[in-house]
Amino acid sequence: MKLVQKIIFLLSTLIVAASGLYFAFDKGIIWFVYPSESKYPIRGIDVSNHQGNIDWKKIPKNKIQFAYIKATEGGDWKDKAFSRNWEQANQLGIRVGAYHFFTLCRSGKEQAANFISYVPIDQNALPPVADLEFVGNCKERPPLQDVKKEIQDFLSTLENHYGKKPILYLTYEFIDLYLKDDFIEYPVWIRDIFGHPSSTFKRNWIIWQYHSRARLEGIEGPVDLNILRRDDLFLKEL
């Protein structure tokens, strides 16, 4: 009987511990990786309509220096929160940039036209970003060369319009399956929430998304956190 009680107690303890650990991760209280603040002092967030009505005045300016804001997706979808987020963050001196979720179901030129119709030309803005990942993308998996052509059409159109070389937001999965060693000339915003981007990573990453469930004053719910690889001067030059 005592053995049964011990087993029940042990299992109960494990369940409570597991629940506590899940809660801590879900609320962003603990995380997988903590980039050095002395090495990476420039921090930023990326937001969309999923963050709801952000109170930008409450965002801690000493912790957040830049913000990438979702503008568009595919050939016709537009984020209704974009204009408000763009204007309010700008007014408070947070450096802003816009990103587009690239879908494999629409042509690069269609998607570029969607982005250009919604995102203003602002010389002080950060370079536009092409968000290249599979999560939330269409079920189709077009041939490799077709995907590369559409991505190139999108990037070239944006660079010609805004006068800045776009940044590629990438996951390791997308690189392995589609990009391979192509588009190496474009700066990279890499997603890696489990560890520091490897020293063997070939691409020129300038932004690292290291957290996907952080909590910040002014934002209800989780938000992504990012670091800039270099210093404040580099941020101003982007």
Instruction: For residues 150 and 122, state if they share a domain.
Output: yes
Cβ neighbors of 22 (< 8 A, separation 6 or more) are none
pLDDT per residue as tens digits for the range 125-182: 999 999 999 876 777 788 889 999 999 999 999 999 999 999 999 999 999 888 888 9
The residue ranking higher by pLDDT, 202 or 155, is 155
User: Contact, 71 vs 119, CB < 8 A?
Assistant: yes
Structure confidence at residue 73 as a pLDDT band (50, 70, 90) = very high
Q: Which residues span the domain enclosing 46?
A: 36-237
- Quote the CA–CA distance of 158 and 102 in Å, as a whole number: 13
Instruction: Give the CATH number for residue 68.
Output: 3.20.20.80
Instruction: For residues 76 and 174, state if they share a domain.
Output: yes
Structure confidence at residue 21 as a pLDDT band (50, 70, 90) = very low
- Quote the CA–CA distance of 159 and 234 in Å, as a whole number: 19
Q: What is the mean pLDDT of residues 64-81?
A: 98
Q: What is the mean pLDDT of residues 215-221?
A: 95
Instruction: For residues 76 and 2, state if they share a domain.
Output: no
Instruction: For residues 90 and 13, state if they share a domain.
Output: no
Q: What is the mean pLDDT of residues 25-45?
A: 76
pLDDT of residue 1: 54
Instruction: For residues 169 and 103, state if they share a domain.
Output: yes
Quote the number of domains for the chain. 2
Instruction: For residues 25 and 43, state if they share a domain.
Output: no
Q: Which of 154, 93, 150, 158 is nearest to 119 (CA)?
A: 158
The structure tokens listed for 181 are 């060693």
CA-to-CA separations, 20 to 15, 31, 59, 104, 124, in angstroms, rounded: 8, 13, 28, 39, 44
Cβ neighbors of 154 (< 8 A, separation 6 or more) are 100, 102, 108, 109, 111, 112, 130
pLDDT at 13 over 70: no
Instruction: For residues 43 and 136, state if they share a domain.
Output: yes
pLDDT of residue 22: 39
Share above pLDDT 70 across residues of the chain, in percent, rounded to a whole number:
84
pLDDT at 235 over 60: yes
Instruction: For residues 20 and 112, state if they share a domain.
Output: no
Q: Where are the beta strands (DSSP E) in the chain?
A: 43-47, 66-73, 77-78, 95-101, 129-132, 167-170, 188-191, 205-214, 223-228
Q: What is the mean pLDDT of residues 37-56?
A: 95
Instruction: For residues 81 and 111, state if they share a domain.
Output: yes
pLDDT of residue 238: 77
Instruction: For residues 221 and 112, state if they share a domain.
Output: yes
Instruction: For residues 10 and 103, state if they share a domain.
Output: no
Mean pLDDT taken over the chain: 87
Structure confidence at residue 25 as a pLDDT band (50, 70, 90) = very low
Instruction: For residues 87 and 174, state if they share a domain.
Output: yes
